[in-house]
């Protein structure tokens, strides 16, 4: 279950309170237990081949089919980040700046953990740590950022209405240095 931290250091772990804080932003956070079946062992591996990634996506296809029906998503892929990944620094630098997207950002965390940051209506900044089983929807146009935790490991399914909508548009707002 996700936890939320204010820049002041205050930590919120109660799911209902986290949802209440994120509600004015339109951010949806849900708990979807990961049921990868025969592909569950692949979630323990640091890196995955393209074929293994497809195996994991196929094992989770019921989630994609439901989202396709409910929300019209057309595509999905699997992001696999780990400390030795050759592009980890470039990828992290790209999204660890405050930015928006033209389309909503949707991720289903299936292994590891990451941090989404948001600017609240009162300009305070918060960070939400998401881990396996967390499903997060960030509305289009919402200022946010993403980084990895100290583990520097995550496997997340991304769902798309249109891939072109995920191009980051950086804002001039400074990102506070969260611990």
Q: What is the pLDDT of residues 88-110, one digit of tens each?
A: 999 888 889 999 999 899 999 99
Res. 1: pLDDT tops 90 = no
> What tens digit of pLDDT does each residue of 114-146 get?
999 999 999 999 999 999 999 999 999 999 999
In the predicted model, what is the mean pLDDT of the chain? 92
Q: What is the pLDDT of residues 37-75, one digit of tens each?
A: 989 999 999 999 999 999 999 999 998 998 889 988 888
pTM value is 0.93
Residue-wise pLDDT for 12-34, tens only, equals: 999 999 999 999 999 999 998 99
Q: Which two tokens stand for residue 1?
A: 């279950």
Distance CA(63)–CA(49), nearest Å, equals 22
Q: What is the pLDDT of residue 164?
A: 67
24 SS3 class = helix
Backbone angles phi, psi at 79, to 5 degrees: -95, 130
- 3-170 CATH fold: Jelly Rolls (2.60.120)
Compute the Cα dihedral for 65, 70, 131, 124 and give only its sign: positive
pLDDT given for residue 162 in this prediction:
73
The stretch 73-87 carries a mean pLDDT of: 94
pLDDT for 165: 62
């Amino acid at each position: 279950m996700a936890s939320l931290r204010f820049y002041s250091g205050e930590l919120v772990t109660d799911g209902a309170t986290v949802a209440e804080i994120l509600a004015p932003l339109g951010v949806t956070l849900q708990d979807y237990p990961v049921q990868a079946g025969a592909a569950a062992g692949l979630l323990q591996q640091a890196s995955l081949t393209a074929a293994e990634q497809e195996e994991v996506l196929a094992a989770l296809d019921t989630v994609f089919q439901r989202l396709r029906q409910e929300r019209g998503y057309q595509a999905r892929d699997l992001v696999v980040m780990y400390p030795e990944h050759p592009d980890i620094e470039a990828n992290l630098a790209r999204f660890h700046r405050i930015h928006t997207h033209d389309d909503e950002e949707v991720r289903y965390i299936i292994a590891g953990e990451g941090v989404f940051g948001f600017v609240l209506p009162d300009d305070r900044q918060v960070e939400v740590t998401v881990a396996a089983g967390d499903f997060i929807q960030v509305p289009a146009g919402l200022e946010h950022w993403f980084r990895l935790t100290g583990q520097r490991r995550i496997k997340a399914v991304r769902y798309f209405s249109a891939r072109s909508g995920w191009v980051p548009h950086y804002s001039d707002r400074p990102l506070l240095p969260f611990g």
